A and B are shown apart, each in its own frame.
Chain A
Amino acid sequence: MTTLAVPMSSARPANPSHIGPPAPTLGAAANAAPDGKRKIKIQTTDMGFFYGTHQALQKITLDIPERSVTALIGPSGCGKSTYLRSLNRMNDIIEGTRVIGKVLLDGEDIYARDVDVVELRKRVGMVFQKSTPFPKSIFDNIAFGPRIAGVRSMATLAPLVEQCLKQAALWNEVKDRLKDSALALSGGQQQRLCIARALATNPDVLLMDEPASALDPGSTARIEDLIDDLRKNYTIVIVTHNMQQAARVSELTAFFCMGRLVEVGRTKQLFTNPKEKETEDYITGRFG
């Protein structure tokens, strides 16, 4: 977190103009041109984020299209995880945080007064970096979301659990031991369990915070295949440190640095022909 403490306003004093304006045009162009008129699922306009008095995000303007994978990359402490967690208001848990600007989900401001955070989080699921299975059975883990929403009958829960586990490509491995503890699963299986658990609340959006960073290459490949399957039905935003992973799974990539959105564009274009010098330095490994 020490990198966050670097005064971000003074980092590039000579060129303040590129903090805001260029990014949105790129983003808008990227998702409007090749994909036709794909609907914007999440729209962030001039969004800023504060931990107390410390500003962690500045003027983020980013459009995330529906049913696609958007990767957020950048050096540690650049604010990409903070941005991700502000999309389902998980940052609300931390005392003294504040958001300015607009974050719209399906055109509605998620920070508006009348928004119920519980309902928002049901619609915007999240998978964490460290897999967090509940200390319960595999079945109870998946059924947690529906159960807290009031679903009681096993006739509804059982097929739902099966469907979610199948969607997360875990069903064949666990179908005979649904009553076993979820903590007995391997790391990769636990992470797929967490994805299945997030799917069980039937969200529109899935936020993934470095979902494969603690996994071996085989498990990582499985998670990536899974993301590829899920993009047909869900809007996925994924934070990753692994640039090959971003290149493999995402359609759009946004590069964050020191609390700013430096560049956003079609993944292929951003990795082969970045517009900004900073982006180029980062993806070629010269910095970050």
Chain B
Amino acid sequence: MSQTPENFSANLAWRHRMGWLFAATCRLATWASVVFLVVILLVIVSRAWPRLTPEFLTHFDSYKPESAGMLAGILGSFWLILFTGAICVPIGVGAAIYLEEYARSNWLTRFIQLNISNLAGVPSIVFGILGFTAFVRMFGVPRTAIVLALGFADVRIPLPFGRSVIAGSLTLALLCLPVVIIASQEALRSVPASLRHAALALGATKWQTISRQVLPAAMPGILTGVILALSRALGETAPLAVLGAAYFITFAPGRINSASDLAQHPDRLLQVPFDQFTAMPLQIYNWVNEQSRDFQQQVSAAGIVVLLVVLVLMNGSAILIRQHFQRKIRW
């Protein structure tokens, strides 16, 4: 039997007050983060305002703040993320499928699992150093270039890769892999075992069970992980800086600077991975370090606004893709 204290009612009022206080503190915490975000956005947008013109998106960088633009960074980041995704999604999803569906649980797989989890927490600059050694310098192989003569175009592949888009993409792909693998594994794990059993009991092979039932059911979760990883890669500055990617550049990878360039020379697409590049966060970093106050305050703020808009668009498209798949799955 619990003893009811005589001053139960007095205590009750105090307990209610504590409850109210706790709720108020939580509310304050929520609003504090919102207020900070709004203030930061307001400051950045107000600083960027004079530079937020269509020309900012269509011009290359310049030594004059009033004519500096972000085209090289936008196109560079686009190609960079495209190739990063193309490299890390098949490898990451494949590794996750192997670990979840095929691998037996023994000390080796547990060791691999532990390492993947640890890699997800490694600072990005470490991946930059790895990428510099493995892809930019290729452990010091002598400089050569392979020229692929395809008849309609010649593709020049530098060896080692140097400061090219492909070296950057490979590095960022390594950075994204742990996140993609872990997210995919969790998505696969959340598919009920009964679904697998039902497919197997109907005479499906393991591969048919995975490809027709398990993967479609896990797809929304996998895509969420992929987009989050790529969004992180999009904002990464440090590994690209270590790779030695260009800060100031006045052409886009493959010399495809506009839609008309693409229409007239579609063969230049093949040269894109092997060309030099800059990326949005690198350009912003570069502008912040400029002497001129215009660069420091206005141009860099405009760059940040563009980067944020691209990130929001990416995350938005992730939500759309996820909803599309979920509708198709018809849970």
Name A residues whose Cβ lies closer than 8 Å to a Cβ of B. 88, 90, 93, 95, 118-119, 121-122, 125-126, 128, 130, 132, 134-137, 144-145, 148-149, 181, 183, 194, 197-198, 201
Q: Which residue of A lies closest to B202 (CB)?
A: A145
Q: Which 7 A-B pairs have the closest CB atoms?
A: A122-B203, A181-B330, A132-B198, A126-B201, A145-B202, A132-B194, A121-B203
Q: For B329, what are the chain A residues with a Cβ–Cβ distance below 8 Å?
A: 135-136
B165 at the interface (CB under 8 A from A): no
Is the pair B195, A118 in contact by a Cβ cutoff of 8 Å?
Answer: no
Q: For B204, what are the chain A residues with a Cβ–Cβ distance below 8 Å?
A: 118, 144, 148
A73: min CB distance to chain B, Å: 22
Name B residues whose Cβ lies closer than 8 Å to a Cβ of A. 104-105, 194-205, 208, 212-213, 216-217, 329-331
Is the pair A135, B202 in contact by a Cβ cutoff of 8 Å?
Answer: no
A136: min CB distance to chain B, Å: 7
A112: min CB distance to chain B, Å: 18
Is the pair B205, A136 in contact by a Cβ cutoff of 8 Å?
Answer: no
Is the pair B203, A119 in contact by a Cβ cutoff of 8 Å?
Answer: yes
Is the pair A135, B194 in contact by a Cβ cutoff of 8 Å?
Answer: no
A134 to B201, CA, bound (A): 13
Is the pair A148, B330 in contact by a Cβ cutoff of 8 Å?
Answer: no
A117: min CB distance to chain B, Å: 8
Q: For A128, what are the chain B residues with a Cβ–Cβ distance below 8 Å?
A: 194, 197-198, 201
Q: For B205, what are the chain A residues with a Cβ–Cβ distance below 8 Å?
A: 118, 148
Is the pair B194, A130 in contact by a Cβ cutoff of 8 Å?
Answer: yes
Is the pair B197, A148 in contact by a Cβ cutoff of 8 Å?
Answer: no
Q: For B197, what are the chain A residues with a Cβ–Cβ distance below 8 Å?
A: 90, 93, 128, 132
A148: min CB distance to chain B, Å: 5
Q: For A119, what are the chain B residues with a Cβ–Cβ distance below 8 Å?
A: 203
A201 to B208, CA, bound (A): 15
A134 to B330, CA, bound (A): 9
Q: Which of B199, B200, B202, B212 counts the most chain A CB atoms within 10 A? A: B202
Is the pair A134, B199 in contact by a Cβ cutoff of 8 Å?
Answer: yes
A112 to B302, CA, bound (A): 71
Q: Which residue of A lies closest to B208 (CB)?
A: A148
Q: Given A90-B197, A130-B194, verify A121-B202 contact (CB < 8 Å).
A: yes
A145 to B203, CA, bound (A): 7
Q: For A137, what are the chain B residues with a Cβ–Cβ distance below 8 Å?
A: 330
A29 to B201, CA, bound (A): 32
What is the count of residue pairs linking A and B with beta-carbon distances less than 8 angstroms? 67
Q: For B212, what are the chain A residues with a Cβ–Cβ distance below 8 Å?
A: 144, 148
Is the pair B201, A88 in contact by a Cβ cutoff of 8 Å?
Answer: yes
Q: For B213, what are the chain A residues with a Cβ–Cβ distance below 8 Å?
A: 134
Q: For B200, what are the chain A residues with a Cβ–Cβ distance below 8 Å?
A: 90, 93, 121
Is the pair A125, B202 in contact by a Cβ cutoff of 8 Å?
Answer: yes
Q: Which residue of B lies closest to A119 (CB)?
A: B203
A134 to B199, CA, bound (A): 9
Q: For A144, what are the chain B residues with a Cβ–Cβ distance below 8 Å?
A: 199, 202, 204, 212
B288: min CB distance to chain A, Å: 49
A201 to B199, CA, bound (A): 12
Q: Which residue of B lies closest to A181 (CB)?
A: B330
Q: For B201, what are the chain A residues with a Cβ–Cβ distance below 8 Å?
A: 88, 90, 121, 125-126, 128, 198
Is the pair B198, A148 in contact by a Cβ cutoff of 8 Å?
Answer: no
A91 to B200, CA, bound (A): 11
B223: min CB distance to chain A, Å: 16
B226: min CB distance to chain A, Å: 21
Q: Given A135-B329, A183-B330, verify A95-B104 contact (CB < 8 Å).
A: yes
Is the pair A201, B195 in contact by a Cβ cutoff of 8 Å?
Answer: no
B100: min CB distance to chain A, Å: 14
Q: Which residue of B lies closest to A182 (CB)?
A: B330
**Which of B104, B194, B202, B216 contacts A148, CB < 8 Å?**
B202
Q: For A149, what are the chain B residues with a Cβ–Cβ distance below 8 Å?
A: 203
Is the pair B330, A198 in contact by a Cβ cutoff of 8 Å?
Answer: no
B182: min CB distance to chain A, Å: 23
Q: Could you give 26 example pairs across A and B, Cβ below 8 Å?
A: A90-B197, A90-B200, A90-B201, A93-B196, A93-B197, A118-B203, A118-B205, A121-B202, A121-B203, A128-B194, A128-B198, A132-B198, A134-B195, A134-B213, A135-B216, A135-B329, A135-B331, A136-B329, A136-B330, A137-B330, A144-B199, A145-B203, A148-B204, A148-B208, A181-B330, A201-B203
Q: Which residue of A lies closest to B206 (CB)?
A: A118
A144 to B104, CA, bound (A): 28
